[in-house]
Structure 1
């Protein structure tokens, strides 16, 4: 397995402006083995299908498959079925693979025997708001963060960002779960580990990620992600403690508001007035965020705090919905553009 063939799987929806760059970053990797790109295109409104077709016409290493189900797990499975590589590289159109990424990750698979390898997700921004969102991602302040946000030690991990997989392991666990509309990466890595495979973290490799660029898409993304995380907990009854922080914030603030509206805090100062400690403590936390997230200008610091609050409120409320009532038909529409 010194230079196995590689397939890059690229699920896309409304990514006409970014698809060519993502494909070029994959095929531009300096790697000795054979490489191919399989693009799974969901029904789009911005000409993504035409861009994908043009890329395939210009390079025989690029193939296009339809993803009528729209969801990412379904697109990844369709691309997987159409691919042939011994190694499978998951690609996101909003990420940029660095030079040497494929070569390094294949080396890790060979050296460690792992089934999947992933590096650091390094969020970046082009606008002031996107920069604030990126700082929240990189610090882990928004949702606590996994090892792929700020880890420094190589070794086994619970999950990996994107992922470079042994095809045999990916097929052995049945690929991606198409009943999950979010959280498919975490679920896949959990099933790999349950089957006896290792997931390996590689801290010396950073993949650039471009987060949402506006408030409404950020809220939609975090709500849907929280809902499906709650659905996953509802299904298997397990979760990491860090995923309970945002729901606890929402529950605490909601309890405080309910007590104030009911007047219980005025009629019975103890214990109901204690509920108001939640917003006081959270205000202190947001003040700490503003001071430590990395911004220097007062306006940027205030925006950083507002971003963290938005992420936690949207994700936490979504989690509570998902864990109590299930995900239902919830889907992330943050990338969908109106016609």
Structure 2
């Protein structure tokens, strides 16, 4: 469905927010500072935060009436997005994340791409930028093929149709037409929505012109929790939509299973060697985890080159944390255990 025949259609920025006291102000300020000349509004769907997020949002709303807050009692990302989209008034919906900072030209370029391509959704590159050695290691992993698989919205590519898009700038009427975000899908809801857009004859469009700065999680605990949750829901989606799976989704769980089985077999071999059992041959099981360890070291040398020593050392920890968090989550999600821990992975 085409946009209204106007050069500057109105834009609604929608953002689910939960416990983002440290990031929310910068994210919203990047929206207000857009160089797009059309009308706009900012709708913040506030979940039940336990920090000062609501107070910070109230301060910004009082200073600028274009910034509005809406309650999102469920607290999940898809529920917050849907609440904000339903309350929006403009024909273009720009999804924003509290960890993302949009460059000033983002909306202008995105609306032009929507109009030029006739697509239902346009997205670009998620450029992760860290401020500490740990965050910079995470950013390096995000932006390398060894980290998140080398998808265009992480490493770039040619403009054209895509499977999914980071964040997304949507034709609002098409969002309503396909039923908005699936609130039963707590992670990966963007992929699932884009699947429905494409299945109903729409187009998802990638353009490297759009670059969004993303702030990685600030601690190892939060990073692992993020990727376990993401893997869980990716596994659940793989089970629900088996025909939509691609090889890159299967590599991390295969690596987790292979390294885990190899480690167990290798330990059996150790016992066999100690007691003089024929099972000593099982020491060969260590080949699998050993090969992965060499892969991580080589990746740290190549993908993290140019970084400080502390960042490169963190990379040695971050990369397997991402792989094993995502991969183990995928296995549990694929085995349909997602419902048992949904309450702990809502975001």
TM-score (norm 1): 0.93
Q: Deviations over 1:58-89 (max 9, x none)?
A: 22212111111110000000001111110000
Question: Secondary structure at 1:163's aligned position in 2?
Answer: strand
Structure 1 residue runs of 5 or longer lacking an equivalent are none
Cα offset, 1:270, TM superposition: 9.2
2:316 pairs, out of 278, 289, 305, with 305
Aligned to 1:253: 259
Distance (whole Å) between structure 2 residues aligned to residue 58 and residue 28 of structure 1? 14
Aligned to 1:193: 198
Q: Deviations over 1:25-63 (max 9, x none)?
A: 112212221100110000011121222222222222121
Distance (whole Å) between structure 2 residues aligned to residue 125 and residue 268 of structure 1? 51
Report matched runs for 1:300-339 at 5 Å: 300-331=311-342
Q: 1:298 to 1:24 in 2, by over 3 A?
A: closer
Distance (whole Å) between structure 2 residues aligned to residue 203 and residue 224 of structure 1? 28
Aligned to 1:43: 48
Task: Verify the 8 A CA contact 2:133 2:311 in the aligned structure 1.
Answer: yes
Q: 1:133 to 1:310 in 2, by over 3 A?
A: same
Structure 2 residue runs of 5 or longer lacking an equivalent are 1-5
**Match status 1:11 vs 2:22:** no
Distance (whole Å) between structure 1 residues aligned to residue 340 and residue 80 of structure 2? 17
Q: Which moved more, 1:60-69 or 1:321-330?
A: 321-330
2:246 pairs, out of 228, 235, 240, with 240
**Match status 1:218 vs 2:246:** no
Aligned to 1:282: 292
Q: 1:226 to 1:236 in 2, by over 3 A?
A: same
CA RMSD of aligned residues (A): 2.0
Task: Verify the 8 A CA contact 1:227 1:318 in the aligned structure 2.
Answer: yes
Cα offset, 1:269, TM superposition: 5.5
Q: Which moved more, 1:27-36 or 1:81-90?
A: 27-36
Task: Verify the 8 A CA contact 2:93 2:169 in the aligned structure 1.
Answer: yes
Task: Verify the 8 A CA contact 1:221 1:332 in the aligned structure 2.
Answer: no
Task: Verify the 8 A CA contact 2:263 2:288 in the aligned structure 1.
Answer: no
Distance (whole Å) between structure 2 residues aligned to residue 188 and residue 288 of structure 1? 37
Question: Secondary structure at 1:291's aligned position in 2?
Answer: helix
Cα offset, 1:301, TM superposition: 2.4
TM-score (norm 2): 0.91
Q: 1:268 to 1:302 in 2, by over 3 A?
A: farther
Task: Verify the 8 A CA contact 2:272 2:280 in the aligned structure 1.
Answer: yes
Q: Deviations over 1:191-230 (max 9, x none)?
A: 1111111111111221100011111001100111101101
Distance (whole Å) between structure 2 residues aligned to residue 203 and residue 8 of structure 1? 20
Q: 1:105 to 1:332 in 2, by over 3 A?
A: farther
Distance (whole Å) between structure 1 residues aligned to residue 330 and residue 266 of structure 2? 24
Cα offset, 1:279, TM superposition: 1.1
Q: 1:265 to 1:147 in 2, by over 3 A?
A: farther
Q: Deviations over 1:150-205 (max 9, x none)?
A: 12211111111111000111111111010011111111111111111111111122
Task: Verify the 8 A CA contact 2:133 2:310 in the aligned structure 1.
Answer: no
2:117 pairs, out of 112, 116, 119, with 112
**Match status 1:168 vs 2:173:** yes
Q: Which moved more, 1:64-73 or 1:17-26?
A: 17-26
1:294 pairs, out of 304, 308, 317, with 304
Question: Secondary structure at 1:218's aligned position in 2?
Answer: helix
Task: Verify the 8 A CA contact 1:217 1:334 in the aligned structure 2.
Answer: no
